[in-house]
A and B are shown apart, each in its own frame.
Chain A
Amino acid sequence: MGARAVSGRIDALRNTIGQLNAAGVRRTLFYPLAHESLASTRGESVELRRAKAQAHLLDRAPLAILPDELIVGSAANFFPVCEDAPGSGEQRETARSVLDRYLENREERNRAERSGGIRTFEDSFTTKKSRWALMSRVYHDASISYDDLQALIRGMRTEYGPRLEAYEIGRELERAFKLDYGEDVRREIDSLPWFAANHLSLNYGRMLSEGFDKRLADIRARSGEPPSDFYEAQSIVCRASSRFFLRYADFALAEAAKAPAPRARELAEIGLMLKRLSARPAETFREGVQFMWMLQVMMTILWGSALSFGRFDQYLFPLYERDVASGRLTREEAKEILCCFWLKVNEPRMRTVQSLTIGGITPGGEDAVNALTDLCLEVIAEMKLPYPNVGARVNRKNPARYCDRIIDCVRAGAGQPMLMADEVWIGNLKRLGYADKYANDYYNMGCVEIMIPGRQPNWGVTEPIAFPMLFEEVFRRYKGREGELDSFDRFREAYFAVLREHVEADYLEADDRRGDMPGKCYDPFASMLIDGCVESGLDMFQGGAELGTHWSFYAYGLGTAADAMAAIGKRVYGERRFSLSQLSGMLDANFEGFEDERRLLSTCGHYGNDLDDVDRLAAEILRKFDDQVFSYNAPDRRDKYVSTLFGYFFHIYHGEITGATANGRLRGEPFSDSMGPSQGKDVSGPTRMLNSVLKLDHSRVTGGYALNVKLNPSVVRGDAGKRALAALLYAYLESGGPQVQVNFADAEMLKLAKREPAKYRNVIVRIGGYCEYFVNLDAALQDEIITRTLHGL
C-alpha cells in the first residue's frame, strides 16, 4: 500500500471522527441498559448482578463501523447525540434560575451534598468546595457542551459578579446541566454501587495472546462445582465478550454486503478476523491491535474510564516482528493500522485521559526499545493528537536513536511524549518493596501516575493537598497568638504540623475507602483482565489482583508555597519589617491598602530560578510530605501509599477558593501547577528552572510527578535548537529528574503575555539567533512573533 493511500484513508478517518466530535453533546445508553438488567436480577448476589448487567450491556450496545477504518469497534452509537439539548436562550434561563435559587438559600445548599449519580473517580476526588468541569473531558454527561458552558459561566459572572463568588457560579452551573436518566434508574444503579474499573491498565496483552476459548477453559478448570459467584461471573463475562466480537463480525459482514467493491473486501476481511478473534488469540499484528481496541471499547461501554494502554510497544511487538519477518506486513501497513488506532482513541467519549507507554526496559531488565517503539514515535509526531497521552521511558540501556527520536517528536509540537526517568521510578518502586520484575515493568497511568500494568486494581485517590492552602490553617490556628511563632523555625514547624495532619487525614480516608469495598465492589469484566483474579478466584476489588492498590496522596502548588515561605522568612523573621499578625491582617484584607507590603513580599526570590534559599524551602516542604506518606508503607503490606506531585487542574479551582498568600498572590488567583514554579516567576530560563527542581529529593516520590517546561517553538528551531532541547531534557533526567514534559507557548499564550506581561515574564523567544524574554520586546516585535508562531514559524 503506497504512502498516498495511507494518508488518504487516515485523512478521511480523521475527518469522520472530527465530525462525530462536533455533532453535539451526547447522552449514554449505559443507564437504561444497565437498569434493564439490574431490574431483572434483584435478589441475586451483587457479583452476579454485575456480571449479568455487563453481559446485557455488551449484548445490546449499538455497534458502529466508520467509513475507511481498518480497526473497528466504536462506542459512538452507545453515546448518541442529544437531540433535545437546550439552546443558548434556554441555557441562560436555566442558569439564572439555578443561580437565583442558589442565592436564596445558599447556606442550606452549601451543606447539602449533591448525591445521585455513579460514584466515579471524579466524584471521589471532589469536595463540597470543588469545581470539576475545568477540563472538557470531565464534563461528559451534560446537556451542554464544554465551550458553551464556559461561555455561560463567563456571562453569569458578569451578571452575578459581586453577589456570588466566581467559584460558586462555576460550580453551580457545572452541576446544573447534568443529564437526567430518571430517579429510579439512578437509584437502582447506585444501590449496588456500580463501581467500575478506572485509572488502571488492564492486561490486554495477555488476553490477546490467549483468546477467549482458552480463558473460558481456564475459568472452568478452576471453578469448582457448583462454581463460586466469582467463577460464574467470569464465565458470564467471558462468553459475553466473545459474543460481542461475533456481533461485530456479523455487523461487518452485513456492511460488506452493502459496500462498494474495495471497501466490501476490507469489511469482509474485518468480519472474518473478528469471528476468529471471538475464540482464538491474535495471530497477526493487525489482529492484536483489533483485539486490544475491542477490549477498550467494551470496558468503556461498561463505564470504565482512564483506561491506559500500558506498555503497548511491548505486548504487540512479538506479533509485529513475526509479521514483518514473514513478509506478511510492511512497515507502512503497520503504520496505517497504528494511525487508525490513534485516531479511534479520540472518538467521542473515548478520551478519558488514557496513557500509552513506550521504551524503557523489559521486566527482565533488557533494553525494551524495538521497531514498534520507533513506529509509535513516528505516528505521534505525524498525527499530533491529544490522546493517547504518551509516556516515553528513558533508560541508559536505550539506544541513542530512540532518545533522538523522542526529541524529534517533542519538537513536532504536540507536546508529546512526556519523558520519564527509569532510574528514578524503578528505584523508588523497589524502595516500596517491589521485586525487580515489577519495578522494571512500570508505566504511567492516565497522566503521570506510576503503576504496574495488568496486575493492580484501580489507582486509589484521596483528597488532594494544596501546599499553599495549608498556610491558611496555620494563620487560623494561631489567630491572636501569632507571637507564639517567635522564630522562623517555629513557624515552619507549625506549617509542617498542619501538613502532617492533612496527610494523616488522607491516610484515614484511604482506609475508609478500602473498608467500603469488601462484599460491595465488583467488576467481573475488568477482573478477567487483571492478573491474579482468575488464579485466586477473587474479583480485583476483593483482593484478587496479583498486586495491591496504590493509594495516592496528591500534592501540588510547591512553587507558591515555597515562595510564600521565603517571603515570610525574609520579611517577617529576617528583616522584621512587619509582624506575623500584621501579615495575617494583610492577607485577610487581600492586600488592599498594603500595596507596598505586597510588593516587598512578592520580591523575595522565587522557586524555579536556581536560588538556593527558596529552593531549600521547597525541598524541605517536599521532604516532610514524602516522609510522612512513606511512613505508612511496610514491606508486608499489600497496598502501598504513594506521593503524587501532580495537581491536574486543581491549582486553578483551589486557587479560586483560597485567600491571599504571603508571596503576594491575591485571593482567587491560581496556585503554581504540580511541581512547577509560580506562574511566570521562573524568569531565569529553563536551565535554572530545572536546576531548582533538581535540588529536591526525589528518592521518595513514588506516585507520580508532573513538571512542565514551557518554551516558545522558536527556541527549538533548527539543529542548534534540537541539540539544545535534547541536552536540556536529558541532562535533567540524567541528573535525577523524575519526569518532564514540554509545552510550547502557542500564539494565544503570547497574546496573553502581551496583554498581561507580569504573569508571563518567563516566556522566552528566539529571534534570529538571540534569545530574549517575550515581555521585554516592544509591541511591534511581539506582534511579529505572534504572527510567526501562528504560522508555525
Chain B
Amino acid sequence: MTGRVFSVQPFCVDDGPGIRTTVYLKGCNMRCPWCHNPEGISPLIEVSYIESRCENCGRCAAVCEAHTSKNGRHAFDRDRCSCGGRDVAVCPSGALAAVGADLEAIDVIREVARDRRFFDRSGGGMTVTGGEPTMQPEFLRELLALAKAEDIHSCIETNGAGAREDYRAILGLTDLFLVDYKLTDEAQHAAVTGMPSAVVLENIAFLCDSGADVVLRCPVIPGVNDVEDHFRAIAELTKRLPVGGFEIMPYHPLGSSKARRLGKDGPSPYRAPDRETVERWRAEILSMGGREWGRGL
C-alpha cells in the first residue's frame, strides 16, 4: 500500500539508537507552535517555495495563475493555485518543490535497507516520524512489519496522542517507542497542542504496561515548558514507569524557515537555548531523580 511521505532521510543520528534512516509521514493531530517539521502537519501534498533559488524565468506563471511576475520579481499566491503540481513540474531551478509524495511501503523499505551495513554496525535502523506517524496507521503498520521481516530495528517517534488501537496494532512490530512528553499543565497542553494531556499519559502507561520499550522525548521550549513543575513531572514519570528514560530535545528555530517556505507563519517567538541552558535543564531533571536515556548500545 502507499503512504504519504515527505522525506526519507539517511544518516540520522538523533532519532533513536545508532545510524538511522528516518521516514517522515504527512499529517499531524497536534498544532504545537514550535513545530520543527511544519511540513508534516498537513496531510495534503504542499508546495514549498524557496525564494533564493528562483530565477524568475516565468515558466510557473505560464501554467498556473497563482504565479505572477511583478517588477521582475516572482510572486506566489497559494490560494489561487489549482494546477495540480504543474508549476512544480516546470520549475527548472528547484525553487518550487512538492512536499509529500505517495510511496509504496515496499519501496520505502528498500530505500531504508540500503544502509543495512551501517545499521548493523551502529545498532541503528529505521525511525518513522512525521507529522504524527499514527495518523497513517495502516501504512505505518506495513512499514514496521516490513522492517521486522527484513530484520531492521524500528522506532517510531509519536506525540503520544494516537488512537489506542493503532498503538496496539504495532506493539510487537516496533522495537522502540520514542514518545513526546511536551507539557505537564493540563490546560496549557490542551490550549497549545490542541489535544488533552490525559490521552498522552494514558498511552504512555498503556505502552509500558504492554511491555513496549518507551523513551520519553521532551521538547523544551524556553518560556513555554522550561519550568520546575514540568521538569519534576518528567523526573517522576521516569521513576514511576518502566521507561528507558527521558531525552531532552531543545527547541531549535529550524522549523520557522521551513514554515515560511510553505507560506505559513513567519518567525517564531521562541529563542533557541544555548548549550549551557540545555545542560542546566538536564541537570535539574537529573537532580530530581529523573533517569536519562542512554541511547541503548
Contacts and interface: CB of A to CB of B under 8 A. Distances in A.
Interface stretch (A196-204, A662-670, A720-728): A720-728
B217 to A, nearest CB: 9
Contacts of B249: 768-769
Given A727-B18, A731-B120, A731-B121, A771 B9 contact: yes
A770 B253 CA distance: 11
Interface stretch (A26-34, A272-280, A682-690): A682-690
Given A731-B117, A731-B118, A767 B252 contact: yes
B19 A687 contact: yes
Given A684-B10, A766-B14, A777-B254, A691 B114 contact: yes
Contacts of B36: 770
Interface in A757-793: 757, 764, 766-772, 777-778, 781
B254 A723 contact: no
Contacts of A781: 253-254, 257
A83 interface: no
A769 B120 contact: no
A720 B14 contact: yes
A735 interface: yes
B118 A727 contact: yes
A599 B92 contact: yes
A149 B239 CA distance: 66
Contacts of A769: 14, 249-250, 252
Nearest to A599: B92
Interface in A699-728: 715, 719-721, 723-724, 726-728
Interface in A656-697: 684-688, 691
Contacts of B19: 687, 724, 727-728
B115 interface: yes
Interface of B: 9-14, 18-19, 36, 52, 92, 114-115, 117-118, 120-122, 124, 249-254, 257, 260, 272, 295, 297
A346 to B, nearest CB: 33
Nearest to A725: B13
25 contacts: A599-B92, A685-B9, A685-B10, A686-B11, A687-B11, A687-B19, A687-B114, A687-B118, A688-B114, A688-B115, A723-B13, A723-B122, A723-B297, A727-B18, A727-B122, A728-B118, A731-B121, A734-B117, A767-B252, A769-B14, A770-B14, A770-B252, A771-B11, A771-B13, A777-B254
Interface of A: 596, 599, 610, 684-688, 691, 715, 719-721, 723-724, 726-728, 730-732, 734-735, 757, 764, 766-772, 777-778, 781
A768 B118 contact: no
Contact of A723 (B18, B52, B260): B18
Most buried by A among B36, B122, B249: B122
Given A685-B10, A686-B11, A770-B14, A724 B122 contact: yes
Given A766-B14, A781-B257, A731 B272 contact: no
A777 B257 contact: yes
Contact of B114 (A610, A715, A757, A777): A610
B121 A727 contact: yes
B118 to A, nearest CB: 5
B246 to A, nearest CB: 14
Chain A, interface SS category: helix
Nearest to A694: B117
Contacts of B251: 768
Residue picked from A726, A732, A769, most chain B C-beta under 10 Å: A769
B272 A724 contact: no
Contacts of A724: 11, 13, 18-19, 122
A686 B11 CA distance: 7
A267 B248 CA distance: 57
B250 A768 contact: yes
B122 A691 contact: no
A687 B117 CA distance: 9
B21 to A, nearest CB: 8
Nearest to B14: A769
Contact of B13 (A721, A730, A772, A778): A721
A686 B13 CA distance: 12
A715 B11 CA distance: 10
Nearest to A778: B257
B121 A730 contact: yes
Nearest to A779: B52
A770 B252 CA distance: 9
B92 A768 contact: no
A22 B122 CA distance: 45
A772 B258 CA distance: 12
A744 to B, nearest CB: 16
Nearest to B13: A724
A730 B251 CA distance: 33
A777 B255 CA distance: 10
Contacts of A686: 11
A145 B187 CA distance: 69
A684 B9 CA distance: 8
A723 B18 CA distance: 7
Contacts of A596: 92
Contacts of A734: 117, 121
A767 B254 contact: yes
Most buried by B among A721, A726, A731, A732: A731
Closest 4 A/B residue pairs (Cβ): A727-B122, A778-B257, A731-B121, A685-B11
A730 B18 CA distance: 13
Nearest to A770: B254
Contacts of A720: 13-14, 295
A757 to B, nearest CB: 8
B115 A687 contact: yes
B117 to A, nearest CB: 5
A764 B13 contact: no
A229 B14 CA distance: 68
Contacts of B295: 719-720
Contacts of B52: 757
A773 to B, nearest CB: 10
A471 to B, nearest CB: 25
Given A770-B36, A777-B254, A687 B121 contact: no
Contacts of B254: 767-768, 770, 772, 777, 781
A596 B57 CA distance: 12
Nearest to B294: A719
A597 to B, nearest CB: 12
Contact of A727 (B92, B124, B272): B124
Contacts of B297: 723
A721 to B, nearest CB: 6
Nearest to B120: A731
Nearest to B115: A687
Given A687-B115, A727-B18, 12 more contacts: A686-B11, A687-B114, A688-B114, A691-B115, A726-B121, A728-B122, A731-B121, A732-B117, A734-B117, A768-B272, A771-B12, A778-B257
A365 to B, nearest CB: 25
A37 B12 CA distance: 65
A768 B252 CA distance: 7
A726 B121 CA distance: 9
A314 to B, nearest CB: 28
A777 B253 CA distance: 10
Contacts of B18: 723-724, 727
Which residue, B19, B52, B253, B295, has most C-beta atoms of chain A within 10 A? B19
Given A599-B92, A688-B114, A778-B257, A771 B122 contact: no
A723 B121 CA distance: 10
A533 B262 CA distance: 73
A405 to B, nearest CB: 18
Contact of A771 (B14, B115, B257, B260): B14
Contacts of B11: 685-688, 724, 728, 764, 771
Nearest to A720: B13
Nearest to B117: A731
A715 B10 CA distance: 13
A457 B40 CA distance: 62
B262 to A, nearest CB: 13
